[in-house]
Chain A
Amino acid sequence: DIQLTQSPSSLSVSVGDRVTITCQASQAISNYLNWYQQKPGKAPKLLIYDVSSLETGVPSRFSGSGSGTDFTFTISSLQPEDIATYYCQQNENLPPWTFGQGTKVEIK
């Protein structure tokens, strides 16, 4: 199975700050890397798929990049409503499709 390791596990930032989360895969996964946002008590929401494609309706301050085994998720200017846990997920080839352990973003 492909393992995904996110870092950091949590971060505390100020409104307006740039937020960067990394996701490292245990083997190359082409472009099959997605990012989800989960607010407390809510279901996850797909933000970015195939490394860098923004899901419809998602604000442009969210972006993704990377290739091979190393991927990055960025919030260009953190807003109060972005407080959540963020997960990367791979859907390379056959299942199981796995998630990273999550990164909790909090307001400083």
Chain B
Amino acid sequence: EVQLVESGGGLVQPGRSLRLSCAASGFTFDDSALHWVRQAPGKGLEWVSGISWNSGSVVYADSVKGRFTISRDNAKNSLYLQMNSLRTEDTALYYCAKDKTIAAAGYFDYWGQGTLVTVSS
């Protein structure tokens, strides 16, 4: 069974940093691209960032480019999102999502339960 378990969320002040983690199991980790997708409270879904199987391709939404960094450790079956210079508009539930492909093609076939990030003073 595919499992994705996010952690690292919490309450943080504007301008500060936070690092999210996603622990994966139940599939061949380095056969899949991975993504972060977020959902602000009561709102829709917004794709944030994606990374290919070997970290050779990383992509970001314009709203986080230059502030967020996605990375993965295939030896630890883990995905990360380093979030710097956080803004109030980054407040959301952050989901880790698996891609159907190795190349970060934008198909989100499995999702974790999310970790909540609240940016507030």
**Interface on A for B, CB 8 Å cutoff?**
1, 32, 34, 36, 38, 42-46, 49, 55, 87, 89-91, 94-102
Which A residues lie within 8 Å of B111 (CB)? 43-45
Closest approach, in angstroms, between the C-beta of A41 and any C-beta of chain B?
A: 9
- B100 adjacent to chain A (CB < 8 Å): yes
The answer on a CB contact under 8 Å between A99 and B47 is yes
Q: Which of A1, A32, A90, A91 has the most CB of B within 10 A?
A: A91
Residues of chain B from 48 to 107 with CB closer than 8 A to chain A in the complex: 50, 59-62, 95, 100, 105-107
The answer on a CB contact under 8 Å between A95 and B109 is no
Chain B interfacial residues counted at CB < 8 A: 22
The answer on a CB contact under 8 Å between A43 and B95 is yes
The answer on a CB contact under 8 Å between A87 and B44 is yes
Tally inter-chain residue pairs, CB-CB below 8 A. Answer: 57
Closest approach, in angstroms, between the C-beta of A106 and any C-beta of chain B?
A: 16
Q: Which residue of B lies closest to A100 (CB)?
A: B44
Which A residues lie within 8 Å of B44 (CB)? 87, 99-102
The answer on a CB contact under 8 Å between B112 and A43 is yes
Which B residues lie within 8 Å of A46 (CB)? 107-110
**Which one of B45, B107, B110, B113 lies within 8 Å of A87 (CB-CB)?**
B45
Q: Which residue of A lies closest to B65 (CB)?
A: A96
Given A43-B113, A43-B114, A96-B61: A36 touches B108 (CB 8 Å cut-off) = yes
Closest approach, in angstroms, between the C-beta of B63 and any C-beta of chain A?
A: 9
Which A residues lie within 8 Å of B113 (CB)? 42-43
6 closest A-B pairs by CB: A91-B106, A43-B111, A97-B106, A99-B45, A95-B59, A97-B47
Q: How far is the CA of A100 from the CA of B30 in the complex (A)?
A: 30
Which A residues lie within 8 Å of B100 (CB)? 49
Closest approach, in angstroms, between the C-beta of A44 and any C-beta of chain B?
A: 6
Which A residues lie within 8 Å of B109 (CB)? 46, 49, 55
